[in-house]
Structure 1
Amino acid sequence: MKQLYIGPEIHQFDTFKDFAEEFTLCASDLILTNEYIYKPFIEKLELPCGRIYQEKFGLGEPTDTMTQAILDEAAKGNYDRVIAIGGGTVIDIAKVLVLGGGATVDELYDNMVGLTKARRLIIIPTTCGTGSEVTNISILNRTRLGTKQGLVSPAMFADHAVLIPEFLQSLPYSVFATSSIDALIHAVESYLSPSATPYTEMYSLQAMQDILRGYCQIAERGQHARFQSSAEYLRASNYAGIAFSNSGCAAVHAMSYALGGKYHVAHGESNYQFFTDVLRKYQEKKPDGKIRTLDHFLQNTIAAAGSGAELEGDTGIDLLECLLSRVLERKRMADYGVTWEDIPVFAQSTIDNQQRLLKNNYIPLTLEDITAIYQARL
């Protein structure tokens, strides 16, 4: 049984300038990023690289139409490397830009087994959540199907994953919170996955520990406490990415895609909707297995962090939920516009379209289980 695979080389630099000098950026490089990242951090270096601003082709999370437009734009140049600098949207699109094996996004989905790498890829995450710099999957909203789906291929692994804590210093708090919660969910779901190994568990547990310690500091000292731990959050996201790229994510992510696809809820925020509810459903169905070990780990880690903020709860998952509420208030699905009529559609879509993820559940969840979780969050 395969125990662990890490696709890209992993690097860390204090600043983007240090990275640019080390990697000798040149005219045959294409930078895919956002203008609000490029202007303060990169423009002053006067690099000869080509560049595409993702937001010029659409806002929000990546769709098939947005990605196709950027593919067409990138095809106008002759580039050897794509350098993705951004959050999940930029990174997911960049992974598509380096592929051969299809001229359109739909063709790439239809030919997943035949995909090849046509350009080298360097990924620099500017949030601390996706872990996508070390994974071989891109999640796009397939507008024709009305749901998000993963495009997966070994050709989508980056050649280099580069961590630069400098970028987290300007990250809005809400983006920090939702992205780091997403990283925590990656760590938990990969830990509980039937495909977990001792190696992936090591990365999962370290990611959980680092994020929870940071959250306890926020609960005690306020939002600005996050800046003292930027490098730790970035590494924790990377650890969680390594874990879930090997062991997979599960029901939390699977259930989030129908919500995010219809109501355009950000990925980390839509995952947050179902996180602790899925864990409690696991407890209900199989309380004596690995979920009990996880519950003890959560309880002990949060207690050891010594948060000065009083947290309520009898179990580790209770404490986790209380701690998360101090980091970011969780909305109800109704706050995004979800209705009772959406729930059976969401549940069936999850079963029909997300088996890639559901196979990694700690314990199988039925259509009825998934429907009950959706109902509880309305």
Structure 2
Amino acid sequence: MEDYAVLRMPQTINYGRHAFEKVGEESAAKGKKALIISDKVMDDLGNVSDCRGFLSKESVDSTVYLGVESEPTDIYVAEALEIFKKEQCDIVISLGGGSCIDTAKAIAVLATNGGYIGDYMGAKKLADVDPVPHIAIPTTAGTGSEATDATIIANTSNDVKMMIKQPVFMPVVAIVDPLLTMSSPKHVTAATGVDALSHAIEGYISKQSHPMTDMFALSAMKLITENIMTAYEDGENVNAREAMALGSLQAGIAFSNSSVCLVHGMSRPIGALFHVPHGYSNAMLLPAVLEFSKEASISRLADLGGIFSPEAINYTDEDAADLAVSSVKKLCLNLNIPNLSGWGIDKQEFETAAGKMSADALASGSPANNPRVPTQMEIEELYHICYAYEFTTESKVR
């Protein structure tokens, strides 16, 4: 850690049951007309209508963009930004999963700073004008994007997922209401839950971690590991949903300030080239990457082993770290997380793309934060291992 550390999060966080109802009050303090970034699922569930109703009660006008159908792209950003300008909006509200939130982050910044969203990748262009206020309302317990200052947008011209991180991308308000996650089907609960767990783990083992991020990451790991199976098996269990929503939020705060590592570096190219949702690709990679990283992070993974099992207090650090890795594998198995082959990705296409993906992963910068920093060749080998990876207790990575 450096001599000092920084912790950034939204100015205001409303969390807990019925927090959604605060969107009108929060919006009225920020502007007069909101662009709601959402999707058809949220609209069909009535959540978009409810949001507009809460806004109307506080005399806030609104219009809607429902074009987010997959991982966020520069096309979605351009379409929504055009509506924002045409309708003369002054607030952005995201209502949905990480794709909606990341799209809204881009709009909030571009509305005042201009240009193409890719201009801001790698800090080539710095956003030096305050963004329009962005109120983020997640409807899954997974991405933690409501509490991060990064956005991931796919460049549709070159199939690269652009990871863009600057303080201005942080939402000004986060509203985390577990009741909005109740409609998530089992497979979404599983994928987003393991995504949140990967955020907490990577936030904890990252070379950029510090005591404040450790606090959030440890709490998140405990909340998620203790509640994910209940939320998966009984989606109507409000207590489990609430714990998962809080864990996801805390994991987002942790990794936004300490950075993600190798899992995310490898995950983005899979999403860009094969259109695997981010939560799934993280879950597919997590066990194998933990095996690869274990020897360089024994004590930190031992802490995770202790969260999975109190008995680990009597183990050596190495045995507790082994327990952590095997427990993550077992969790993925119990949650029916598929490998890349099981997702339906053609083996030849995947192997052909492995070279580009490993180069793109390394170029993203995230692998440099990993306890064991990989070479491009090691990343490429990990891709091959993960393609047909089986979530058993037998180690497959050296």
Instruction: Specify whether residues 293 and 5 from structure 1 end up closer, same or farther in structure 2 by C-alpha distance, changes over 3 A only.
Output: same
Displacement of 1:147 in angstroms is: 1.7
1:229-248 → structure 2 map (5 Å cutoff)? 229-248=240-259
Task: State the shift of 1:348 in Å.
Answer: 3.9
In structure 2, stretches of 5+ residues that fail to align are 312-320, 388-398
Matches within 5 A, 1:1-378: 1-8=3-10, 9-15=12-18, 18-23=21-26, 25=28, 27-38=32-43, 40-44=46-50, 45=53, 47=56, 48-55=60-67, 59-99=69-109, 100-109=112-121, 111-217=124-230, 222-224=233-235, 227-283=238-294, 287=295, 289=296, 291-304=297-310, 315-333=323-341, 335-340=343-348, 342-343=350-351, 345-352=353-360, 354-378=363-387
Give deviations 1:285-307, integer Å, cap 9, x for gaps.
xx2x4x222333333322249xx
**8 A contact 1:101–1:108 mirrored in 2:** no
| Offset at residue 218 of structure 1 (A) | 5.8
The 1-side partners of 2:142 and 2:151 are apart by: 14
- What does the per-residue CA deviation read over 1:143-169, in whole Å, with 9 as the maximum and x for residues that have no partner? 212121112222111111111111011
State whether residues 16 and 242 of structure 2, in contact with CA within 8 Å, keep that contact through their aligned partners in structure 1.
no
Cα distance in structure 2, aligned partners of 1:206 and 1:357: 23
TM-score, structure 2 normalization: 0.83
Question: Letter of the aligned partner of 1:90 in structure 2?
Answer: C
Distance 1:70 1:298 in 2: 41
What TM-score do the two structures reach when normalised by structure 1?
A: 0.87
CA distance in 2, matches of 1:17, 1:241: 19
**Per-residue deviation, 1:176:** 1.6
| Structure 1, unaligned runs of 5 or more | 306-312
Shift in CA distance, 164/332, structure 1 to aligned 2, threshold 3 Å = same
CA-based RMSD of the aligned residues comes to 2.6
Question: 1:240 & 1:76 partners in 2: Cα distance?
Answer: 36
CA spacing shift, 1:341–1:37, aligned 2, 3 Å: closer
CA deviations 1:97-127 (Å, max 9, x no partner) are 1113224334454853245334111111111
The 1:126–1:194 alpha-carbon spacing in structure 2 relative to 1, beyond 3 Å, is same
Distance in 2 separating the partners of 1:302 and 1:108:
39
In 2, are the aligned partners of 1:190 and 1:243 still within 8 Å (CA)?
yes
1:120/1:367 CA distance change after superposition, 3 Å: same
- Percent of paired sites with the same residue: 25
Aligned mates of 1:101, 1:20 — CA distance in 2? 25
User: Given the superposition, is the C-alpha separation of residues 324 and 315 from structure 1 closer, same or farther in structure 2, using an over 3 Å criterion?
Assistant: same
Following TM superposition, by how much is the alpha carbon of 1:49 offset from its aligned partner in structure 2, in angstroms? 2.7
Cα separation, 1, equivalents of 2:204 and 2:114: 35
- Is the 2:20–2:137 contact (alpha carbons within 8 Å) kept by the matching residues of 1? no
**Which 4+ stretches in 1 moved above 6 angstroms?**
none
